[in-house]
Amino acid sequence: MGNEEKKDFNAVLRDSKDMPKFQKITDAKSIEKYGGDRMYFATPIDYDMGKALSEMTLDELWKLFPVFLTPHNEQWTEYYNEMKEFLCSILSDYRIWRISHVGSTAIKGIWAKNIIDILIEIDSTENMDDISCIVECNGFIRMSSDTDRVSFNRGYTENGFDEKVYHLHLRRAGDNDELYFRDYLNEHSQAAKEYEQLKLDLWRQYEYNRDGYTEAKSDFVKKWTLEAKKAYAGRY
């Protein structure tokens, strides 16, 4: 630290532009309870906890479900395996080509959002709507859909994230660029670390803007996906 001036932790929080606004404790009971009047507590985010998710504005949803990164957790693989077993059981009557763990939680050693991304590739002859209905009837919420792609999530509640959160991507067989990106970063540690640093740099900037966070990573993802598909041509 040298001769650098030491700052009170609460003062750093209070003055930080990256943190929510803080309010000082002034009432006698709280001062007695917390041992002084220099403790600061974040002002609660202003959203209505009584609302259903479907009734919330986009701004309210982003505040309830911010971008939040954590160190790599070995339990992510366990969470994926649990859900894969469940998905195999509910979709056993359909021609499923492959179920895969994708996204940052599938990349070894890097920080990531605590969300398990799963890619399901189905046969070209299967009815996408029929399978989507099965998935929806088993605890997933449909988020977006078109002819050959449907996205779902699970673990989003009116009180915030559940313990286990999933994003499910239903695709036709062969629509699987995420597999190439995952494999390349797992086999090229320098690229993985660069991706991790990019995510950490963007975290605070886009904490309450998931679309912006995803878009800001897109050039990196596209670059290394193309490189991976050259290196691993025909792997999938």
Give the bridge partners for 156, in sequence order: 161
Q: How far apart are CA 19 and CA 29, in angstroms?
A: 26
Q: What is the pLDDT along the chain (236 residues), one digit of tens a residue?
A: 444 443 343 333 334 343 333 334 344 444 444 344 433 333 344 444 568 888 889 889 899 999 999 999 999 999 999 999 999 999 999 999 999 999 999 999 999 999 999 999 999 999 999 999 999 999 999 999 998 999 999 999 999 999 999 999 999 999 999 999 999 999 999 999 999 999 999 999 999 999 999 999 999 999 999 999 999 999 99
| Residue 4: predicted pLDDT | 40
b/e string for 120-136 if b means 16 or more Cβ within 10 A? bbbeeebebeebbeebe
- By the 10 Å C-beta count (0-12 exposed, 13-18 middle, 19+ buried), 55 is classed as exposed
Euclidean distance between CA atoms 132 and 151, whole angstroms? 9
Which residue matches tokens 């996204």?
Answer: 103
pTM of the model: 0.78
Residue owning tokens 């660029």: 177
> What's the CA gap between 110 and 90, in Å, rounded?
32
Instruction: Report the amino acid identity of residue 30.
Output: S
How far is the C-alpha of 19 from the C-alpha of 4, rounded, in Å? Answer: 23
Residue entry with tokens 């995510």: 199
Q: Which domains does the chain carry?
A: 1-44 (no CATH), 69-231 (3.30.460.10)
